[in-house]
Structure 1
Amino acid sequence: MNLDKSVLLLCKGFPPTIGGVETYSEEVARAYLGDGYAVTVLTQTSSPAGWSERDYPEGRLRHFNTGPGSQLQVFGRMLLAFRRAVREANPSWVHATTWKPALVHMAARSRLPVAVSVHGREVMNTPRPLRPAMRRVLRRSAGVVAVSTSTMAQAEKALGVPGPVGQWRVAPNGLTFDELARTSADHSRAHQEPVRLLSLARHIERKNIHGCLAALADIERHGSLDFEYRIAGSGPMTDELRQLVIEERLEHRVTFLGRVPDAEVPELYRWADVFLHPHTHVGEGNDFEGFGLVIADAMSFACVVVAGDVGGPTDFVRHGTSGLLVDGLDHRSLVDAIVAAAENSKSGNAMGRRARTHVLDTLSWHKHVGVVADAIGAAA
């Protein structure tokens, strides 16, 4: 199939609204622009309602925001905008960045091929009354693109039939700070101690920051490592984590940074020697680490990562080579992994350097949208 260079994006959300799906949608839009596509985005976000144009370094896209309202009102406005975009932009295909916006494509009875992105949580936590609609969207899609093999498995399970239907592909996410990481100075430090540890995550149970603190308290008691630990982010467990720091007498070792603006995050990665993210599948109902973008981002700055051995990061973290995978619920294993990561960092950072090379070579938004286009083309 010779795809025309025009794509229509259906997005649940888009910046300036902040969120994972919103960021994903913008990165995908920019990747299409960079590849020479004409891009139209239909979404609901916090910008002024109606049609507008947005400029990026990669080019200009056309943007429609439904504005506020009930779900029925928002759906109706997006359906009308979809029909207008099809008439005026003449797209050759549609990319829904989550499954729910793809319902607009279905309601319009459009014959345009549609690809649907799957991230994980949104298919695992679909309310029972909406599951038939979700399955119908996935079955009818010309291409279903999951951000990791673990996410693909969850999507196949949610579909409720043996094996996938249509063109199903795994397309890893790109990196958040690709250009900055590529131009970052060599990740080495004149002073090897204290070892600098960093976590950047929402403060919820499955992110397992409490497990990191328990492990570090054990390490502190045995005097086996001189370290400094910074915790960025916020969430429902923040107060509990602060109390745990006091109980474990780690106040002189641990600093809470709160929510860090995106522009300041690269400097945190440059500061850190070891990035701690030993996530688990515990808490928040049906949830798991669908990809692990902050882990990949930390690797792109040559941090040695300690990540959970479940979910999406198992696709790009090679245990013992480009990072350490650990059972976050196994206290002893987590202690040993943190010490090993710190020792690797102090002795030349070979693991961090390999991690940086690996993710910069394999993870990009350009490659991601290329897989989407291939899936559409193969289904034609």
Structure 2
Amino acid sequence: MTPAQRTLVVTNDFPPRQGGIQTFVAALLERRPPESLVVLASRSPGWEAHDARLPYRVVRRPTGVLLPTPGTARAAAALAGEHGCDTAFFGAAAPLGLLAPALRAAGVRHLVGATHGHETGWVALPGARGLLRRIAGGLDVLTYISEYTRSRLAPALVGRTRLAQLSPGVDVDRFTPAADGAQVRRRHGLGEGPVVVCVSRLVPRKGQDVLVAAWPRVLARHPGAQLLLVGGGPLEADLRRAVAARGLERSVVLAGPVPPARLPEHYAAGDVFAMPCRTRRGGLDVEGLGMVYLEAAACGLPVVAGTSGGAPEAVRDGETGTVVGDPRDPAAVADAVTALLDDPARARALGAAGRAWVEQRWSWTTIAATFADLLTPPAR
């Protein structure tokens, strides 16, 4: 992309609102030349202060949810014309990719839309599948985050557009083995024994309930072990009841959600990372990739993963961690965790291998180069 060319980014998912898609989109834009970007987004609390710190222009529609309405279409087309945007990027193609015809009419000739994993549920439902096919037909490129999501999307979208992989990346300068978890250990009274950490939203798919059910088996072999659950969500009350019912209050800590800037120290508080994710609702509730595995690996931790969706792609089974064949089985999860706690030297070796793999395959340097290529319009 030459300096004179600009990309219009249309996204509902944008900071300061928190979430995986928001983080993904912001990280992609952070690595683009600021003069090449203009963003159209929704509003969320704190947006004025947030946008004032950005080096590129952000226009906020007066709504908490950006939808492909006629008003949004007019605003997007006006911005594209004002800034001479040759390219548009939809932070989440479904449903904002429906704006593609309006942007083409405004002179945008190359349109790229991203998917993030939940769209694999869309293709299982006739109405949503038809909408996704319509969206794909208006785009030049539709991205996917993992081979699993591609395998689900491709049969429904064959011939509609070009599919290309664009996975989230890891900031290897922030998520690093040098991160210090000592303060987190002190704050939560974790002591000097082994700590198993899980960083994720507290929802059934992520498997924290199975970790709690497995924990008595882990304690039978490692009485001084601690389980640190980081994150918030609708499963929290159930988890607290399960911890109390099993008498695990002294060895299971629910830390609640933490700001993104403090995530590295929470990973670093652990010796093993575990999130035995599982697919639910007949395949409608599935893990698209599992960035937490890669962030943990970047911090030098061996990981224990489940089999849901693209999660196994974020782990080299037996090299950077373990993929549990039945993540619903507390005994199987306990066996995977205790195997790593039993052999600290092997656990450290897996963590080191994970760090090297993330640096080579999943760093933002690699992902940013892919994004730049995808944004480049074909030669006229």
**Same fold judged by TM-score > 0.5?**
yes
Compared CA separation, residues 124 and 234, structure 1 to 2 (3 A): same
Compared CA separation, residues 185 and 297, structure 1 to 2 (3 A): closer
> Counterpart in 2 of 1:68?
63
In 2: Cα distance, 1:104 partner to 1:54 partner: 27
- Indicate yes or no: 2:106 matched with 1:107: no
In 1: Cα distance, 2:291 partner to 2:329 partner: 23
**Pick from 274, 291, 294: which aligns with 2:292?**
294
- Indicate yes or no: 2:132 matched with 1:138: no
In 1: Cα distance, 2:330 partner to 2:47 partner: 50
Deviation digits for residues 108-161 of structure 1 (CA, Å, limit 9, x no counterpart)? 4435211111111135247754543321221332111111111112222443xx
Compared CA separation, residues 378 and 317, structure 1 to 2 (3 A): farther
The 5 Å alignment of 1:8-157 reads 8-33=8-33, 38-46=36-44, 54-56=52-54, 60-68=55-63, 75-99=69-93, 100-110=95-105, 111-125=108-122, 129-157=127-155
> Counterpart in 1 of 2:186?
none
SS in structure 2 at match of 1:178: coil
In 1: Cα distance, 2:204 partner to 2:268 partner: 27
- Indicate yes or no: 2:178 matched with 1:184: yes
In 1: Cα distance, 2:153 partner to 2:316 partner: 24
SS in structure 1 at match of 2:211: helix
SS in structure 2 at match of 1:63: strand
How far apart are 1:171 and its partner, in Å?
Answer: 2.1
In 1: Cα distance, 2:45 partner to 2:89 partner: 21
Compared CA separation, residues 16 and 41, structure 1 to 2 (3 A): same
> Counterpart in 2 of 1:167?
162
TM-score after normalising by structure 1: 0.85
**Preserved contact between residue 4 and residue 36 of structure 2 (Cα < 8 Å):** no
In 1: Cα distance, 2:213 partner to 2:120 partner: 33
The percent identity for this pair of structures is 25
Amino acid at match of 2:31: A
Amino acid at match of 2:288: G
- Indicate yes or no: 2:319 matched with 1:325: no
Amino acid at match of 2:268: R
SS in structure 2 at match of 1:351: helix
**Preserved contact between residue 167 and residue 379 of structure 1 (Cα < 8 Å):** no
How far apart are 1:82 and its partner, in Å?
Answer: 1.7
- Indicate yes or no: 2:254 matched with 1:256: yes
**Preserved contact between residue 205 and residue 283 of structure 1 (Cα < 8 Å):** no
- When structure 1 is superposed on structure 2, of 324-333 and 3-12 the one drifting more is 3-12
Compared CA separation, residues 348 and 223, structure 1 to 2 (3 A): closer
Compared CA separation, residues 346 and 364, structure 1 to 2 (3 A): closer
> Counterpart in 2 of 1:223?
221
- When structure 1 is superposed on structure 2, of 274-283 and 124-133 the one drifting more is 124-133
**Preserved contact between residue 44 and residue 65 of structure 1 (Cα < 8 Å):** yes
Amino acid at match of 1:306: V
SS in structure 2 at match of 1:276: strand
How far apart are 1:307 and its partner, in Å?
Answer: 0.7
- When structure 1 is superposed on structure 2, of 222-231 and 232-241 the one drifting more is 222-231
How far apart are 1:202 and its partner, in Å?
Answer: 1.4
Compared CA separation, residues 69 and 302, structure 1 to 2 (3 A): closer
Compared CA separation, residues 27 and 308, structure 1 to 2 (3 A): same
> Counterpart in 2 of 1:337?
336
**Preserved contact between residue 198 and residue 230 of structure 2 (Cα < 8 Å):** yes
TM-score after normalising by structure 2: 0.85
How far apart are 1:321 and its partner, in Å?
Answer: 0.4
**Aligned length, in residue pairs:** 367
How far apart are 1:16 and its partner, in Å?
Answer: 1.3
